[in-house]
Structure 1
């Protein structure tokens, strides 16, 4: 590492090679998207909901703190498997309380964006803020439809946090055509629409995650959904429900990639969500020739769950991921790009401009990181191209900048863990946002 790097880069963690194939089975942490919604919806409901399998991460704890500040009672305890379980007693028909301070969402975009829809239908004034990274992420996409429904904001047309939401009990139901496929946008509008008179509909240009549409009926909200459209009928009385959270497919994708990259590996990931909107990474890896398959084993509510089995695959090939499938792999693109770096030929991810406004500019970071590996990766418009090298050799002494982004930190950690030389990853502790025990779980699979 050069002197300039040692001065300019944040502290880093040395990721050592695992030293052998990964074998056996494991469970990954509870699904982050479902965990957020379980906590938030239970807080909105009348009565006490029982939740199990909730992800214990910094992002989900941001949602817990937010609903407590708004008057919900949360009694969730850490279990032996590392998840949270317990009860949430919601504010129900009396509505959320006026918080006495701004609500800090930390790094959680899901918390911030969904919270806007949650407080919009009530006569309260709530300031929502977050850390430096979250304050750079776009919020106008949520503000615009909520303003059409009759919610006011301070400043009047905010682009970024902090934002003060001035709620109203007179929200109007709307039929909104979203400019992007975004489960967070869709959910914020549907949650506001739950308390508006009439039918609130969100139309999307491509399918996004549908956890909200699957879960709202469990909380007594009349909901209809199609491939690119979802509606709620309001005003509805949200009632408590019990939620069991399956394992997170996004976390599973990193374990799957590790099994593909570590020679001789064979891993089974158990009790993971098999929601079709969330396992696009499986379909992508199949197209690359990976030995990967899923097996359905039941459902938690309306969420299918089961196992994913992955075997080391010596020969992978590049493929194209069309724009209509990007929403189902958006969080997994960093690690899929790393797998593509080991494949023969070029892999193209179409229309991935959304990566620029994630926890970091993931598009630039992917290209930068793969470049350190000697891999040609570039953007053309909003498309990402990766030209793989099946004989990729990792040079010694690499320092990868995670930019404080958990998905990037885990991706670059795999370079060292599944390779022959250690690598350095800056701010690796940010993996606590979604998968605190990531490295420990990988090490536990080495026989």
Structure 2
């Protein structure tokens, strides 16, 4: 699908309630499925990725009722999951397939998983290798590197595993396997990643030990159903934070956004760049802290983004790159090799698509260099099926001097189905 985007916007003004956090929405269904009793979820994200998670667990025998952003899961524990009679289709969702592999690695039955063409290109050995070491029998295309992947689980042994690179998905998969393993399972991270899985274990009555970069769980725990209220997704809010900063005469407020410290790299970076961003902390929303965020048009400066900051904003780098094109000076992004194995190679895709609009930006082996002060013009750009690239390009069009045409706009519905309606609400 090709869409002509709004350009030359004079200002953005208003308030938004950002849809539920994608990472937490996925996990709420997964934990509800492996807990005992009826779990209720409010403000669930109804994007395609999260709906894929619901569909997969229904195939595993879990009763799930969904009405708009409210979900009810009837869990019967790990032992309540049943062998599926057909392949589990995760769609475009890397979170679904990787965390589900962790759950299935402890189940004594056979399952096969597949996804769309993007998932088929994403490497799975970073998950399947440690799960195989714990005792799961896993195979797939190119010796288990790519989907479709088959798994027969059961009889797992806890172990200590040092992650070769920071990844919340890999950490979570091993933790979910560890909850079913004999003994203790410990994951050692190279740097801190989002901790939604650890928080949710506690929310469902389980125990998890966190000591610096070490996360440990013991097997044989029983989780109990609870209520989960999903805070607004800071990764979705990021697009409007940047829009409010770079569109003239703007002021945008986003209500009840999750500000988990492992996810607030976007806030820290924008403040370092000089953004006029106010965080009004509201306290805790269930297990997660939330806040209202207000952004006004800002004078920005280029900075270097690297090291431990990267895992805290890995999903926001495409929109940060756009922000940097409007700053004074040069912004350098390093240590972000992980971008190469997202829905697209986000280093190359961000650079190529922003260049089409007139940005001065270049790719490096582990990131990009963005020269600020770019005057963006029109052009034809493509999301390449990557929701975050699509939304970034839509925000870029707001400050473009001419018409911007976006191909594959429909990818945005993966994580933010109401993105364009929210954007139009702010345009004055």
Q: TM-score range by the shorter chain?
A: over 0.9
On the 8 A contact 1:221/1:233 being kept in 2, the answer is no
Query: 1:383 offset after TM fit, Å?
Result: 3.1
Q: How does 1:21-420 map to 2 (within 5 A)?
A: 21-78=11-68, 84-155=69-140, 157-168=143-154, 170-313=155-298, 315-389=299-373, 392-396=374-378, 398-420=379-401
**1:94-151 deviations in whole A, cap 9, x for unaligned?**
3310100010100000000011011111111100100011010010000011011100
The alignment yields a C-alpha RMSD, in angstroms, of 1.4
Which residues of structure 2 form unaligned runs of 5+? none
- Asked if 1:19 is matched to 2:9, the reply is yes
- Work out the CA distance in 2 between the residues paired with 1:99 and 1:362: 34
- Asked if 1:441 is matched to 2:422, the reply is yes
On the 8 A contact 2:377/2:400 being kept in 1, the answer is no
Which stretch has the larger CA shift, 220-229 or 135-144? 220-229
- Work out the CA distance in 2 between the residues paired with 1:288 and 1:179: 31
On the 8 A contact 2:162/2:187 being kept in 1, the answer is yes
Query: 1:443 offset after TM fit, Å?
Result: 1.2
Query: 1:15 offset after TM fit, Å?
Result: 0.2
Which stretch has the larger CA shift, 411-420 or 338-347? 411-420
- Work out the CA distance in 2 between the residues paired with 1:430 and 1:258: 20
Query: 1:240 offset after TM fit, Å?
Result: 0.9
Query: 1:198 offset after TM fit, Å?
Result: 1.5
Q: 1:443 to 1:227 in 2, by over 3 A?
A: farther
On the 8 A contact 2:78/2:107 being kept in 1, the answer is no
TM-score (norm 1): 0.93
Count, aligned residues: 427
Q: 1:367 to 1:142 in 2, by over 3 A?
A: same
Query: 1:13 offset after TM fit, Å?
Result: 0.8
- Work out the CA distance in 2 between the residues paired with 1:198 and 1:440: 50
- Tell me the secondary structure at the aligned position of residue 267 of structure 1: strand
On the 8 A contact 1:16/1:421 being kept in 2, the answer is no
Which stretch has the larger CA shift, 197-206 or 331-340? 197-206
- Work out the CA distance in 2 between the residues paired with 1:241 and 1:267: 34
Counterpart in the other structure of 1:3: none
- Work out the CA distance in 1 between the residues paired with 2:280 and 2:188: 31
Query: 1:291 offset after TM fit, Å?
Result: 0.6
On the 8 A contact 2:88/2:112 being kept in 1, the answer is yes
Which stretch has the larger CA shift, 286-295 or 62-71? 286-295
Query: 1:32 offset after TM fit, Å?
Result: 0.1
- Work out the CA distance in 2 between the residues paired with 1:402 and 1:219: 37
- Tell me the secondary structure at the aligned position of residue 363 of structure 2: strand
Query: 1:18 offset after TM fit, Å?
Result: 6.7
On the 8 A contact 1:18/1:446 being kept in 2, the answer is no
Which stretch has the larger CA shift, 437-446 or 111-120? 437-446
- Tell me the secondary structure at the aligned position of residue 292 of structure 1: strand
On the 8 A contact 2:40/2:227 being kept in 1, the answer is yes
- Work out the CA distance in 2 between the residues paired with 1:214 and 1:157: 34
- Tell me the secondary structure at the aligned position of residue 162 of structure 1: strand
Counterpart in the other structure of 1:8: none
TM-score (norm 2): 0.97
Query: 1:93 offset after TM fit, Å?
Result: 4.8
